[in-house]
Amino acid sequence: MIIKSESKQTTISKKVSLKGVGLHTGLEVEINFLPADINNGYTFRRIDLEGLPMIKADANLVTNTQRGTCLERNGVTIQTCEHVLAALVGLEIDNVVIELSTSEPPIMDGSSKYFIEALETAGTKEQEAYREVFVVKDVISYSDEETGSEITIIPSDEYQVTTMVDFGTKVLGTQNATLQHLSNFKKEISESRTFSFLHELEMLLENGLIKGGDLNNAIVYVDKPISTETMERLKIAFNKDSISVKPNGILDNLTLHSPNEAARHKLLDVIGDLALIGTRIQGKVIANKPGHFVNTQFAKKISKIIKMERRNNVPNIDLNQPPLMDVNAIMDMLPHRPPFLLLDKVYELSQNHVIGCKNVTMNESFFVGHFPGAPVMPGVLIIEAMAQTGGILVLNTVPDPENYLTFFMKMDNVKFKQKVVPGDTLIFNCTLITPIRRGICHMQGYAYANGKLCAEAELMAQITKVK
């Protein structure tokens, strides 16, 4: 389920930049991290293209996972985005714009280390909006029968990830890695570098797919004998006078940070790919033989579940129980009166949310003229009823609500999903998007009837003291 956490969203305090080479393109690239507004999430901006097109880090925009996670929208692509996204998640930064001077972030050393360092230099700042969290209540799984890969998430008190890898080779056998706390990402995971097997490297070189690689940004496991011809090709590709194989089966010039660095890097990839869900996660991820395809398919599955929950997240209230506020208590707070008082009861009220209801009856005044032969409640009045519910939320912040009036400032993203007819009971759920400041309330409202979402809107209102 989706909840508003007690913690607030964050962004970075200032712009910070890095330069490097793209692993697959071999092009020089500059990457800029910039502060972003609340609820922006992670977005990429191609500053090398006309119009500076932007691409949201969204699982539904994934088009290719062959050698990294690729996003595409309207013909504009972002390649190998997972290491950058993992760094942002690992530092618990919510909103950032990522500018690129080409399609691919710099590979740096093949890990998230340098992105972490740059972001820490920029610093973070708290924003005036609460974080949303997807709290896992049931087991969710995705498996790929062809590869035997499987990824599962189960309920947990925090975000945890475990990866289990088995490459079926002597040089790199079964490995496991676990991240118990996201706060340990920098220390335990961020320096883990990408890796490849020799047979994969030969194929990539033959197809011109690893132009920016060298022995400092990818661990190469030698899983087959190296011929003299292959050795010469590798020296040319990596611009080295000599190349040899270490006793532990990797090409030289690199020392492993940990014996299970491969499993840790797979964990890094999982975190980066699941960032494409676009919502913080509370649950334990268990990934067996993970890869970008299964990771992003799993992210798409969770994104779909979250979308459905947002649409059908009917508040669980007992309409037969005494309400927190009846219509008389509501009239003590709101200035509205029949026939324009459109809220009957309030069942929940906190600093961040309010839940109320309206019983729609045939004797409503608006049914006289609005489709009298087939009565349907006007959509604008559903939004007005939603706003009155939100008015209870904002007026609850002052000691003398009877001396205030509430006025609309803005309505955004208004959508109507289902008809509301006589006999329906409308349930309203309004939740703050940003904390109330100077009497201004910015909230997300949902209206439900018959167990279904019938309307939604983003509302902004302000209370003004009666002179």
Residue 244: the pLDDT is 78
296 lies in the same domain as 148: yes
End-of-domain residue from the set 279, 312, 345? 312
CA atoms of 467 and 423, how far apart (whole Å): 40
CATH number for the domain that contains residue 44? 3.30.230.20
**Domain membership of residue 270 as a residue range:** 2-193+257-312
Residue 219 lies in a domain: no
353 lies in the same domain as 456: yes
Residue 321 lies in a domain: no
Residue 204: the pLDDT is 66
Residue 432: the pLDDT is 86
Q: Are 420 and 454 in contact (CB under 8 A)?
A: yes
Residue 211: the pLDDT is 57
Q: Give the CA angle between residues 340, 457, 44 to the nearest 5°.
A: 165
Residue 209 lies in a domain: no
Residue 364: the pLDDT is 92
Residue 1: the pLDDT is 80
278 lies in the same domain as 412: no
Residue 37 lies in a domain: yes
User: Looking at the annotation, which residues are catalytic?
Assistant: 292, 370
Counting Cα atoms < 13 Å in the Cβ hemisphere of 165 gives 22
**Hey, CA dihedral for 195, 201, 205, 209, is it positive or negative?**
negative
Which of 259, 261, 89 has the alpha carbon at shortest distance from 183?
89
Q: Are 48 and 102 in contact (CB under 8 A)?
A: yes
C-alpha pair distances (Å), 259 with each of 175, 246, 355:
9, 14, 53
Question: 10 Å Cβ neighbour count for 402?
Answer: 12
Residue identified by tokens 């699982």 is 59
Number of domains in the chain: 2
pLDDT digits (tens, 9 = 90+) for 216-260: 667 777 777 777 777 777 777 677 777 777 777 777 657 788 889
CATH number for the domain that contains residue 385? 3.10.129.10
CA 428: distance to chain centroid?
25
279 lies in the same domain as 352: no
> In the chain, which stretches have pLDDT less than 70?
204-217, 237, 252-253, 467
- Identify the three-state secondary structure at position 311: helix
77 lies in the same domain as 123: yes
Residue 213: the pLDDT is 55
